Amino acid sequence: MPNPRLEIPLGAYEAHMAHPAVDQARLLAEELRGIPRTVRPHSVAIVGAAGGNGLDEINASVTTRTVAVDINPAYAAELERRYAHKVPGLEVHVADIEYSKLHVPPVEFVYATLLLE
């Protein structure tokens, strides 16, 4: 059975996340904004990064390496298009971390709220 995360267009996903009844887009951005203040990681992995999910809030003066992982190759491609020039040290990976091994150097902080949802 195909993973439903591969079938949903990014625009529909982002509209859902931003819908006032769901409000997860704002929550994700607020949480990412707070990470550098409390943890101060030089490297972060965002699992379930979709098309960005708060990447605008990464503080490049603190976090110099950001690993973004998503199962959907279309989402990952759009994320890279949107953020490659904005987020220094951005690495974008397509992986189903439930069934695949992801080979990247370690990071100091893993943000996987959507995975654990």
* Domain total in the chain: 1
Phi and psi at residue 70, to the nearest 5° = -145, 155
CATH code of the domain in which 99 resides = 3.40.50.150
Question: Percent of the chain beyond pLDDT 90?
Answer: 44
What's the rounded mean pLDDT across residues 50-64?
A: 88
Q: Is residue 3 part of a domain?
A: no
Q: Is residue 109 part of a domain?
A: yes
- The tokens for 47 are 């699992």
* Amino acid at residue number 56: D
Q: Is residue 33 part of a domain?
A: yes
Which H or E element spans position 109? strand 109-111
Q: Is residue 1 part of a domain?
A: no
Phi and psi at residue 56, to the nearest 5° = -60, -20
- Domain limits for position 41: 9-116
Question: Alpha-carbon distance 6 to 96, whole Å?
Answer: 11
Q: Is residue 4 part of a domain?
A: no
For the entire predicted model, the pTM comes to: 0.88
pLDDT at 33: 77
pLDDT at 116: 66
Is the pLDDT at 89 greater than 90, yes or no? Answer: yes
Is the pLDDT at 117 greater than 80, yes or no? Answer: no
